[in-house]
Amino acid sequence: MKKIGIIHSELSRLISELGHTDTIVIADSGLPIPPGVKRIDLALKRGVPGFLETLETIMEEMQVERYTIADEMRQASPELFEQTGRILDKAEAHGVSHEQFKELTNLAKAVIRTGEHTAYANVILHAGVTF
């Protein structure tokens, strides 16, 4: 049994297989997941696991150089927007419209679906390198 870090086997494997600039999406329970993009469904019930909890856990293992969020998050969920920025403080932020965000999910290695029920609680993480 794994001693530390992410114990969800698909999620652990996904992070270990990422290369520089590959992307993954952490999504609320309502974001549409494009056909052909791997879905890792963590949602158990409304709010479980939450977006921020999932993001913090992934950040323990993933090197992120930049992230993309929908501009609508800032207006609809300002507290969540601020908390997301704090967690990703060393990464470069990039804002796009929610429609553009949904288009970008087509390029992701996977979409990680949480139980989050907060508007626009979605982020695209762009993998960095550790050297």
The domains of the chain, with CATH numbers, are: 9-127 (3.40.1650.10)
Scan for tokens 């920025």, then name that residue: 85
28 is in an annotated binding site: yes
117 is in an annotated binding site: no
Point out the catalytic residue in the list 8, 20, 94, 126: 20
CB atoms within 10 A of CB 71: 15
Nearest to 5 by CA among 58, 41, 51, 52: 58
Nearest to 59 by CA among 11, 94, 19: 11
DSSP state of 105: G
Clarify whether 20 is annotated catalytic.
Answer: yes
Q: What are the tens digits of pLDDT across the range 31-87?
A: 999 999 999 999 999 999 999 999 999 999 999 999 999 999 999 999 999 999 999
Q: How high is the pLDDT of residue 1?
A: 81
67 is in an annotated binding site: no
Question: What's the CA dihedral at 90, 65, 18, 58 to 10 degrees?
Answer: 30
